[in-house]
Amino acid sequence: MSRLIIVSNRVAPISEGGPAAGGLAVGVYDALKETGGMWFGWSGDVLASGQPQIKLEERGPVTFATIGLVRRDYDQYYRGFSNATLWPAFHYRADLLQYDRHDFEGYCRVNAWLAQQLVPLLRADDVIWVHDYHLIPFAQALRAAGVTNRIGFFLHIPFPASQVLLAVPPHRALVEALCSFDLLGFQTTPDLRAFCDYVVHEAGGSIDARPAAAAEPVLIHAFGRTLRAAAYPIGVYPDEIAELAKAGERGKPVRTMKATLHTRKLIMSVDRLDYSKGLVERFRAFERLLDQAPAQRNNVSFLQIAPPTRADMHAYQEIRLQLEGESGRINGRFAELDWTPILYIHRQYERPVLAALFRTAHVGYVTPLRDGMNLVAKEYVSAQDPEDPGVLVLSRFAGAAQELTGALIVNPVDIDDMADALAAALSMPLAERQARYRDMIAQLRENNVSVWRDNFMRDLQRVEPSPSVDEASQREERTGVAN
Ligand code: GDG
């Protein structure tokens, strides 16, 4: 069996069975343990000076290969082009997009440098799976170094519509770089469609009319290459989350929360503190609920857990200030001596605690403005008690809304729509809650994170390895095909 090489910006800190390990990390790590292989990426260290050295750690059949970044590379590759240009643009926030040509050069330089670090560690039949927007030029850099292995790419965030992507100055270079992979995976069909639309209408490429079977990847011809692409919606392990949630129910954090709630109902959200997650609109919709339905006052609390992320970037400092302002204002308006409407917590919790809190919450309130998938929505449903499940209120712009049709689907900029959905969720009869839950949990079991991973790996294994640079140019000479 070929070894699997996972490449991601950060290498997930895995302590087996440990509380921090999320679904994605566990799913990918499981695959690595089965096939043997390596997980390669940035260690998270930023070096003030000196040359970063790769560090190899063996854990059974898996090697963790990590390397630090020097300050300038961190600023240009990570804070700059990845998170100040690509992240906002791919989440349809062209208004927040910042572009600096030097950052883009740094982004390409770091990708090339990381690829060079990986090349000596590769074997001829390794299968390489690259993750996410930080590493779009990675296959191109490997190909330039002569690597002919199968290389796949999975984009965890949305792929934007062409008119939005065009706002990113090097859009063409990015899509050309994506075409150096053999297989592209997107979270949803709309993301796949957006990519195909760019290829056809902006890059002069073509898509084979129809795959052999509906679930087969589409075949794309662009920039002198042929590649495949499909939607692979990422999942979770629902039964494990349910177990965690059940086990945590008797723990102290949940007992404390229940004591604070008394007979009140709980609405709950968990998100990295990111402007794509729609937190301000969400707070205002909760306020609208309290405004419009006085009977809800002192009868419902809203718990928002929002651990900090990218806190050294201006846009993230802004959203933090804005939220602190909104929660303070709303609490000031409605709080009573024995009730604080919004409990806003700006830090991380252990995974079992989150799962148990999800089970306690009557409403899972997940309303991103844009989200590739949104695992919190899937985790919330997984954690529910089948006998007495809560209701998921979900943004139509989360990838998860394509699958979780048993949720109350809302438009996250429509404050009234969200307030109405919260009111409907809080009063929904048991039979309807159970029916919606059954529908969603069946979907989550059918498409769990192993299915996501296995489908992607199956399609990547089926790809013919790429011709080497020499073979490709000989072929071009013979056929006269030039790009
Ligand atoms: C990207 C895409 C896509 C959150 N707070 C705590 C905590 N979390 C965990 C959640 C969940 C994960 O972090 C967040 O995943 P999301 O999917 O919700 O969002 P992103 O971080 O933006 O992830 C997204 C995902 O990649 C996977 O492809 O779904 O669309 O943007 O698992 O539970 N975990 C712990 N403490 C916290 O306080 N332990």
State the DSSP H helix or E strand holding residue 128, giving kind and residue range, or none if neither. Answer: strand 127-131
pLDDT value at residue 16: 46
From CA 409, how far away is CA 422, in angstroms rounded?
A: 11
Residues 309 and 219 in one domain: no
- Round to whole Å and give the CA distance between 134 and 141: 13
Which listed residue (73, 371, 420, 459) is catalytic?
Answer: 371
User: Which CATH number covers residue 98?
Assistant: 3.40.50.2000
CB crowding 25-51: b at 16 or more within 10 Å, else e: bbbbbebbeebebbbbbbbeebbeeee
Please indicate whether residue 345, judged by its CB atom, sits closer than 6 Å to ligand 1: no
Tell me if 156 CB under 6 Å of ligand 1.
yes
State residue 252's pLDDT score. Answer: 93
Residues 226 and 359 in one domain: no
In the predicted structure, residue 62 carries a pLDDT above the cut 90: yes
Q: Is 479 a member of any domain?
A: no
Same structural domain for residues 288 and 150?
no
Q: How far is the CA of 374 from the centre of ligand 1 (A)?
A: 7
- Mean pLDDT for 3-7 is 96
Indicate if 260 and 404 belong to the same structural domain: yes
Say yes or no to pLDDT of 479 above 50: no
Does residue 371 have an active-site annotation?
yes
Question: Residues 448, 450, 451, 456: is their CA dihedral positive or negative?
Answer: positive
Is 254 touching ligand 1 by the criterion CB < 6 Å? no
- Give the tens place of pLDDT for each residue, 332-343: 999 999 999 999
Identify which has the larger pLDDT, 336 or 309. 336
- Backbone φ, ψ for residue 4 (5° rounding): -105, 135
Cα distances from 178 to residues 101, 151, 273, 373, in angstroms, run 19, 11, 29, 20
At 213 the pLDDT is: 65
Q: Are residues 25 and 149 in the same domain?
A: yes
For residue 352, pLDDT beyond 90? yes
| Residues 230, 278 within the same domain | no
Whose alpha carbon is nearest atom 38 of ligand 1?
348
Q: How confident is the model at residue 17 (pLDDT cuts 50, 70, 90)?
A: very low
Its domain, for residue 322, covers 239-446
Kindly state whether residues 13 and 114 are assigned to the same domain: yes
The predicted pLDDT at position 394 comes to 98
To the nearest whole percent, how much of the chain has pLDDT over 90?
Answer: 87
The residue-averaged pLDDT of 15-33 equals 65
**Residue 18 confidence (pLDDT) above 70:** no
Q: Is residue 478 part of a domain?
A: no
The predicted structure's pLDDT at residue 482? 36
SS3 339: strand
Q: Per-residue pLDDT averaged across 226-238, rounded? A: 96
CA 459 to chain centre: 21
417 included as an active-site residue: no
Question: Domains in the chain: how many in total?
Answer: 2
Q: Is the pLDDT of residue 469 over 60?
A: no
At 143-165, the pLDDT tens digits run 999 999 999 999 999 999 999 99
Residue 152 within any structural domain of the chain: yes
Give 333: exposed, middle or buried? Use CB within 10 Å, 0-12, 13-18, 19+.
exposed
The best mutation among 135, 373, 379, 394 to test binding of ligand 1, ranked by most ligand atoms within 8 Å of the C-beta, falls on 373
Mean pLDDT of the chain: 93
> Out of 25-29, 326-330, 393-397, 422-426, which region has the weakest mean confidence (pLDDT)?
25-29
Residue pair 183/225 in contact (Cβ under 8 Å)? The answer is no
Q: Is residue 483 part of a domain?
A: no
Same domain, 434 and 311: yes
Report how far ligand 1's centroid is from the alpha carbon of 270 (Å). 8
Three-state DSSP at 13 gives coil
Determine the residue type at 53: Q
Q: For 239-293, how does the pLDDT look when each residue is reduced to its tens digit (9 = 90+)?
A: 999 999 999 998 999 999 999 999 999 999 999 999 999 999 999 999 999 999 9
What's residue 20's pLDDT? Answer: 46
Report the atom number in ligand 1 closest to the C-alpha of 236: 32
Q: Which tokens sit at 38?
A: 């390596």
**Confidence grade of residue 26 (pLDDT, cut at 50, 70, 90):** confident
Q: Ligand 1, atom 15: nearest CA belongs to which residue?
A: 375
Helix 314-334 / helix 279-292 crossing angle, nearest 10 deg: 10
132 lies in the same domain as 151: yes
In a domain, 397, yes or no: yes
If 0-12 CB within 10 Å is exposed, 13-18 middle and 19+ buried, where does residue 201 land?
exposed
Q: How many CA atoms lie within 13 A of 234 on its CB side?
A: 27
449 within ligand 1 shell (Cβ under 6 A): no
pLDDT at 215: 73
According to the model, what pLDDT value does residue 28 have?
84
Fill in the DSSP letter of residue 205.
Answer: -
Residue 473 lies in a domain: no
Do 206 and 60 have their domain in common? yes
Residue 481 lies in a domain: no
Residue 480 lies in a domain: no
Residue type, 393: V
Same domain, 149 and 275: no
Whether residue 194 is found in the same domain as residue 271 = no
